Structure formats: structure tokens, C-alpha cells
Structure 1
Amino acid sequence: MNLRWDIRTRVLFVALVPTLALGILLTLLLTFSRLSDLEDALVQRGTALARQLASASEYGLFAGNREVLDRLAASTMANNDLQGVAIFDSARTLMAVSGLQAHASDRSFGTARVEQVGSDMLRIVEPVVRTPAVEDDPYILTSERPAGNATLGEVVVLVSLEQLQSRKRSQMLAALGTLAVVLAASVLLAALMSQSVSGPIRGIAQAVTDIGRGLLATRVPVTGGGSLRRLAEGVNDMAASLAVARDELEQRVSEATDQLRQRTDEAERANLAKSRFLAAASHDLRQPMHALGLFIADLARKEHNEQNRALIERIAASAEAMENLLNGLLDISKLDAGVVSANPQPTSLTPLFQRINTDYQQTAGEKGLRLRVRPTELWVHSDPLLLERIILNLVGNALRYTARGSVLLVARKRGDTVRLEVRDSGIGIPPEAQESIFQEFVQLDNPARDRSKGLGLGLAIVRRLALLMGHDIGLHSLPGRGSTFWVDIPVASPVATREHALQPDHELLGCVVGVVDDDALAQQSLAGLLRAWGCYVVAADGLDALLDAFNEAEVEPQILVSDFRLPGEYDGLTLINAVRARYRRTVPALLLSGDTGPETLRRAIDYGIPLLHKPVRPAKLRAMIIHLLAWRDDTRGV
């Protein structure tokens, strides 16, 4: 347990906790012992009264004298705590009663016992046993003597627990008062001890803090003896040495500043060259990856035998692994470059939870896990797209590292915030690793770098997105007992929203799509996939060729899909604007790019055109096209 307590607090803690624990333990032991004694005493007293009454009732029951029994019952009621007395003969006939009437028991007649009736009364039963002395009484006629069983009847005494409970409350109050006095005395004594022990140390700590801030003239008063004196003298010597060293370092720093400035300029030029190289390399790598993914999707739609189908699935899995790595690196680079901006707004969690439940149920079922998404109607103030990415990463991570059991997604309102929690029954995370798992490429249970367990980028992206939106994020976990990741988000009031119904897949049939890409493989793969979806595709490698193709086909584009890098004077953004100007309307458009540099994303945001980085998954491309077509219909007032 890593507690950031100062020395005074620690001394107080060490002094108070044992005393408080011992005081509570002794108080509880003595109190419960006393309460038990009070209860035992009451039971013993009631039992003694019942036995006395049973002994005294022997003659009356033997003779059947109700008058004598009534007097005995009435005299017994003179005792405190008694609520009722009843005497029964061997036939369970009530012979005498005083106070509350008790009933003879149906079972175990003639057996001594103590029973509790309700919460405030005891029922004590004592049998009346016939003795030889009664049988020899000459004044009782033989014909009146009962025969057979030696039990003449039983006596039932009702004892009130009210006074006992009152004594218990008094005893508890007294115990609490004693504990409070002991605690107050312990606090006072601990405070005095803490002040005498921690005062000099806190003075030295403050001096060290001031020295650390650059106040090298600070000195510690040297008082007392032993270790504290040596410590104070050492701090003073250290401050003097640091003052001399600072003067020397200032001179050296001044001499080294010019050299560092020159090296910094060289490093900045090298970093700029590196960035250009990485952007170019990334673009060249993403182009064939993008084409490969689209070719695989188009190939998978065709008829194949079982062996070829399995081969296609393995090829698709390998391509997806490479795509995940590229996308993860791209997300990290965009967040680090500061080109991703948050757009907080009132956001309903209902559709987000529904999508996660739908998307991940199959994945959970394949692993034999139970995914539970607790429905919620809460609203939060957050960017819906970035928040969905956070929760998707957390849920995917939980399913990946959980071998058996379940994963739970739940939202709870906590004052002015909503806490989203993702709980799993997985391997758990040791305390010393709970900070490092939010760093890039850190995986605790994947030394062999198995791609099925991810790339180690998910939690790094989660932390950056949460920091971008100002959401608190945390983790509770124990090894072998699962983990709980949580995100705190400001609560928001519900607002009226308009649900845009996405167009069904069949509405892509006949949709006129303009495709622009100077890479022949990328153009062919994209055009082939769009045609497989039923689109009418007009493909070209530049603006003039595209407009000529539209004129020749005598159609107008319903949507444009263009690569960013194009030969000649136009890039993807300026080409889209030129096509819109040609047809005098805002044609929905989508930009594809293999560039990972922040400048491309900034320009796309400025133009208001969505950007997808290559390689693009077919499902994501299809969803974006349908979304843009729905947006087009909305702007027309449909």
C-alpha cells in the first residue's frame, strides 16, 4: 500500500491504530460478556421462580385445589419482570392463571425448557413432579389420588425482556462512552508524541524542499543531538556545496548553450527529413495493403471450394493483422501530433451500448465467455465517436485477456458524473504493472508477441483519448481476480435527437460512384468491390479523365471516392472541389489516403471531407458510403 503520508501522520497512525484496535476489542469483549451475564441471570432467576412455583403447586395439583393454585400464581406475580403465570394439570387443563395467560405446549409436555416468545418475552416451563410425601398424606382420600404418570402437570412462567433490553442499552452506551474517552486520550497522547518526534524532521524536510527550489541560502537550525543533529549538519553542508556547484554549472551551461543550439537545429532538420521519409514510406506501404484488402473482400464474395475458402480466410487474417498494426500506429501518431480534436456534446449511452453488445456477442461466444451489457438511459457530455473508441478498446481488451467467465459493461451515475466500467474475470494485473500497461506495445501476458492478443496499443490510445476529452480514467485489479477499467464522464441532460435511418444495403444498387486513384491496383480493387456491391463505377486517374468518363457515360456522380495523392496540379481535396464546381452542387465525397502525417488530416478537416486511411476495411468503407448518401438525402430535405 503506497500511502503518501507525512511523518507526523505516520507517527499518529502507528500510535493510534494499535490503541484503538485494542480498546475496541476489549470493550466489545467486556460488553458482550456483561450482556451475556445479564441474560443468563434473567433466565436463571425465571427458572428458579418456575421451580419454586412447581414445587409449591405439587399439593394443589395432586388434590385438584384451584384456590390454592390461584393464590400461588398471584403471589408469584409479585416478582418483577414477570408478565404471566399459568398452572396446568397432567391433562393440560388450566388450573390457575395470573397476568398474561400462557398456553400449554402440545409437545414435550412435562419437560423443563426455556423458549423465547417474540422479541420481548421468555416462556419458562417447569414440570410438577409427584413425590412420595404427597401420596402418604392421610388427609387426601385414596379415591382422589391420580394414578399412573408421576408428572402432575406443568408450570408456565412468562418473563419480560424489556428490562433486560434496557440494561443492555445502558451497558452499550456506557461502553461507547468509555471507548470515546480512551480514543480521545489516545489522540491527545499520540499528537504530543508526534509533535516531539516529527517536528525537527519536518523542519529538515521543509529546508530540503526550499533547497530543491533553488533557495541555496536556506539553513537548518542545529539542535539536539544524535542522528537528528548529524542530519541537520549534513543538510547545511549539502546546501553550501550545491551553491558552489551551481555557480560552476552556470558557467558550463553558458559555454555549452551555443553547442546545444547548433545540435538542436541539426536534430530538427533530421527529424523533419525523417517525418517526410516516414510519410512517404507509409503511403507506399498502405497503397498495396489497401488494394490487397479490397481484392481479398472481392475474392471472398465468389464461389470457392472448401480448401480455397480456408486459404482466403488465412490470407484475410494476415492482412487484417497488418492493417490493425498500421491503424494503431496511425492513431497514436495522430493523437501525439495534436490533430485530433474533441467535439463534446450531450450523448446518449443507449445506442453506444447496443452497438457494443451487437458487435462483440459473437466474439465472446466464440471464446466461451458471457458478455453482459447492462442497458442504460444515461446521457453524458462527451465526443460520441472518441468515447465509443475508448469503450470499444476496453471491451475488446477485456475479451482478449479473459479465458473464462464473463465481461460486464455498465454505467452508473455518481453525483455530477457517470462512471463507465468494464469488468472482466481475466488474469488480472499486478499493482507494479498497472501504470506501464497504458504505454505503447506493453503486453504483460504475451512474451511471444502473439497477434491474437493484440499489439499493445489499445490502452495507450484509451489514455490519450481520455486525456484529450478531460475524462478521468482508472483501474482496479488483482492478479487472478480480474480487472475493472473505469472512465468518469460529466453527466448531461437528454436532448431531442433525430434518428437517421441508414439506407439498406440494396440501395447501393445503381449508385453512381466516381473513383479516382493513380495507382492501378488500388483503382481496380476499389472499382471491383464497388461493382460487386451493385454500384455503377466511373474510374479514372485524374480530374480530366474523370469528367470525360462521366460525359461519355452521360451520368452525374452521386458520390466521389478519391485518393489524396494524385499526379499533376490536383490532389484529392482540390479535385473534389473542382467536381463540385463542375456540377454546381455539393457532391458527397470521401477521401482515401496512405499519408500518416498530420497535415493531410488538418486539410481534410478544413475542407469538411471525411478521411479514411489506407488500408480501408470493406465494411468500414461500405458504412461510410451509406452514411454519406443518407447525409445527402437529409440536405435535400428527404
Structure 2
Amino acid sequence: MKNWGIRTRVLLLALLPAVAIAVLLAGYMAWRIAADSERDLRNYGHGLARQLAAVSEFSTYSGDRETLRKIAIAALDESYVTAAAVFDDQGMPIAASGALPSPLKTLPLSRAPFLLDNDDERLLFIAPVVLHRYDVSDPFLSESTAPVWPAQAATIGWVTLELTRAAAQKRKQEAIFFTLLSSLAVVLIGGIMAFILGRQVTRPILRLENTVARIQAGDLGARVPPDSGGDLQRLEEGMNAMAQALHDNRELLEARVRAATSALEDKKNEAERASVAKSRFLAAASHDLRQPLHALSLFAADLRHEAVTPPQRRLAGQINDSVRGISELLDALLDVSRLDVAGVTPLAIGQPLAETFRHLEAGFARSAAAKSLRLRCRPTRLQVTTDPALLERLLGNLLTNAIRYTESGSVLVAARRRGDRVRIEVRDSGIGIAAEHRHAIFEEFYQIGNTARELGQGLGLGLAIVSRLARILGTRIEVRSAPGRGSVFALDLPLATADSVREETQRNAPAPHREPQLLLLGARNPELESAEQLAATWGYASAWAEDAKAGAADAPRAQAFVALGFADEIAPATIESLRARGAGIILLGTGTEEAPAGAHGLRLPLRPAKLRALLAQLLTESARA
């Protein structure tokens, strides 16, 4: 019933009383007809039997069987009578409307008619034939020659009368049928009236419902014709007034929203322009400051070499530290501005993660060992579709943070497959990150516990660069951490397809032989191998010289090249020999301000962007020399 509509409920409410009354009246009338029919049939039988007994009195007394037979046959003309018989005072049949019946088994004692037998098909009545007492002084009797009757009434015989129920049942059925037909007509008329009245009541309500539905769907121009009259018309007028008020309020709100949206759009555009201008300014400033800063680092290095007294050396060291901090800050700002403004387009190719992990392990092994940390890159055969340089830079920044904020334990880089994706994780056992800082750590210059902005604790730009690199690679960084229990930084990348792997294989196919542009000095080790692979990616040919001194002596004079090795393995004489041949010199494990004159330093872990920029610069200078 909860799902019934208003029209069904009103129709049911109007029709149900009429149906109930009709059913009750029909049942009552059928019961009354059945009861009255039975009573009338019995009264009729009693009366007819009494009359038949009265008519048969004289003939029974005189023994006139023929007359009694005629009387019995005449009784058949009455309604419902199927048989009549007359018995003497001993219960023996003396006349009947048909064949003589059996004698009466038991003589009744009653002096009044009564029902002798009753079943579903007939009623059998019996009445005594009584010889009434007459006054002997009656002149008519005194002159009569007939036998003298007894002075007192006596039972001289019996009359039986059989009535059928068939005709009575038929009349009863006809009466019940007429009653039911009348009740059905009453119900039908009541239903029609209920439908008409219900429609008059529900039509305005249904129109209201339809209008409410249209308003709910957003059509505030919907209206109800106010023509129902009475209370319903006032309700319709109220509905129309409410719809008009909603329509006016919506137009007002839309106007306000448009104005607010326009203002917000202007503010947004202004903020975006300011952000782009800031990024461009930082990029330009960082780039323009790079050359004087490079010169300043050279001057600081010369000053350190020229310092004689301990105060002079201490001052020179402080100047070198300050120059190094400014250089790192400018590099980080340049990276951020380049990612924000330059619109870096990633190169999506198939990249074996084993190669990326090997580069990372080679670049960060010394930094981890310096803090007695165990750095592990779990072996894997998985390959991803991504930009190898950007991915290595992203993971390198995560490793830098992991090593910086881990005092003991280990740092792990691992990858595992998840369907058609590969999940890469950088785990550490460091100090951990509280939940309230997990989103803010990706903002620029945000550092936990470094309110004094000490350079030794970083610049607060590493994770900001990670966030931008992840966005460029089409992924996001997930963080799981707890204070004192370490941190896990994770990202998902698409699993490399066979086509992308084939394309990368063809791209990395051996190039035709050409003169080396990068001379690697010293024994083979992970850091130098990583530099060789990066240089090959950028299109530079490399050569090895395990003996730095011999390699410097055999280096070609007409070819522009750059020598790269560890600062603690290359003697000053070797550096002078390489300079004499016009070679650029890069020393790993030291800063430019600490490197000897004419050499450039790159601190570990090795940063691919710095190495690439320095190689291009030194090869250009070597070619000019």
C-alpha cells in the first residue's frame, strides 16, 4: 500500500464503504430469503395438510374411498405438492394421489399437523382427520337420515402431504441472484461515482505532484493552473508563488555566482601570471647568476689554496661552504622553474629498472657508506614505459632525502608488479614523518624541524621537484610513514610493452665507431660506469684509461674531450697534462670550489642534469681551445 498513488487511494477510500455495505446487505438479504423461504414452505405445508384433513373428514368417516382419492389427486394442483395420501385410524392407507403408500409405522399422538419427515429434496407433513362433536339438538341433524356422529371429537384417520423443495429452492436462488445483481449494480454505480469524485479530488493533487517534479528537475518555470476552487485552488496559487520565488532567487544566485566566478577567474589568472612570472624570474635569475657564481667558486678555490694562516684557511673554508650552498640553491631553483615553465615533455620508452637501479646504487653508494648505512637496490627484470632520465632524477631525490634523514639501518629501492603496472618503492629506517606533515613536505622550502634554515639539512626543494617530476610522468607519490619507524615513498608506472622494449633496444643499438668524447680515468667502478651509460644516452662516446697518468699521456690532441675521474685518484701532474691537451676535467667527489685550478668538481651522488650541462660546456670550451 505504501507504493499506491493518490488516485488509487482516493478511489479505494470512496469505493470500499459501498462495497462493504453492498456485501453486507447481499449477505443479509440472502440469509433472510433462505430463512423466510423455509418458514413459508413449512407454514404452507402445515396449512395445506390441515385443510386436506378437514376436507377428508366426512369421506373418511363414511369410508368413501373414491372421494378421498379425488381429494388426494386434487391436492396435486397446489404448489409444491408431489403426493397426498389418506390413512384410517389404524394407519392403513385408504386413498392416495398415486399408488398406495406403506402403512404408518407409528401412529402419531398429536392432534395438530406436524412435519413427519424432512430431507434435502422434500418435506412430509401429517395431519389427523378429526371427527368433530356436533349438537344433537341441531334441527338439521334431527331431520337427517345419516348415521349419528359421536358426541365427542375423535381421530378417525390421517392425511400425509409431501411437498418438494425444488421449486422453493429455485425461487430462493432467483431471489438471491436478484439480490446479488442489485448489489453489483449498487457497487458499480458507487464505483462510477467514486471514480468521478476521486478524479475531481486527485486531479489537482496529481497536477501539483507533476509540477513539483518539474521544479525538482530544475524547471522553475513550471506552474499549476489555479482552477480547482476552494482549498485546492489556494494551494495551487501558493505553489505558483513559491515556484516564482524560487525562480527569482535562482536567477539572483546565478547572477551572483557568475560575478563571483568571473572574479575568481580573474584572480586565478592573475595568480597564474604571477606564478609564471615568478618562475621565469627565478629561471632567468638562476641562469644569469650561474656564471658569476661559477667565477666566485673559482676565486674561492684560489683563495683557499693561497691561504697560509689557520684564520685565513678557516675563513676560506667558510666562504667555500657559503658558495656551495648558494650554488645548490640556484641549481634547485633552476630545476623547479624549468619544470614549472619550460613544459618538459617526457620521452616514453621501455626502460629496464635494473639499469636505473644500477645507476642509483653507483651514484649513492659512497653517500650511504659515509653514514654507515646499507643501500640496497633489489634486483629485478621488470621494465617500465617512462622517461629514464626523469625517473632516475625522481628516485635520486628520494634517495637523497632517505640517506639524509636516516642515521642508522638501511635504505631499500625495490619494484614489484601489480597487474599492468609496476610499483617502485624507496624505503628507509629513518626518523619518519608525522601524519600532519605528509602533504606539506611536497611544498617548496617546507622542512620539518629546520626553522633556522641550516644548509646542512637541505633546502626543502627536493620533494617539491619529486612532486613535479611525478606529475610530468603521469603518476603520483604515495607516502607511508610513522615517527621513529621510517618512511616509504612509492609510485606506479605502466609495465613496458613488447613494442616499447623493442623500440628502446633499437635506440640503444651500438652506434658507428667514432672518437671518444669522454675519457674515464681509473679502475672500473659503479660511479664511473653510471657516468659512461648516461653519456651514451646523451650521444657521447666514451673510453677507459685505468691508469690515469698513462691515459693523460695517450689522449688525442686534435679531439675535443673531457676527462672524468675521482678527485682522490688523479694527481695534480695528471691534471696539468690533461689541461695542456685542451681537455676539460671533471673530478667526482668534490666541489668546484675545492677542485684544483682548471678542474671542475661534482659532488656525489652524481646528478645527471649537472653532469650533462657540464659536459656540454666543457666540450664546447675544449673544441675552442
Q: What interval of TM-score do these two structures reach, taking the shorter chain for normalisation? A: 0.3 to 0.5
TM-score, length-scaled by structure 1: 0.41
TM-score, length-scaled by structure 2: 0.41
| Larger Rg, first or second structure (1 or 2) | 2
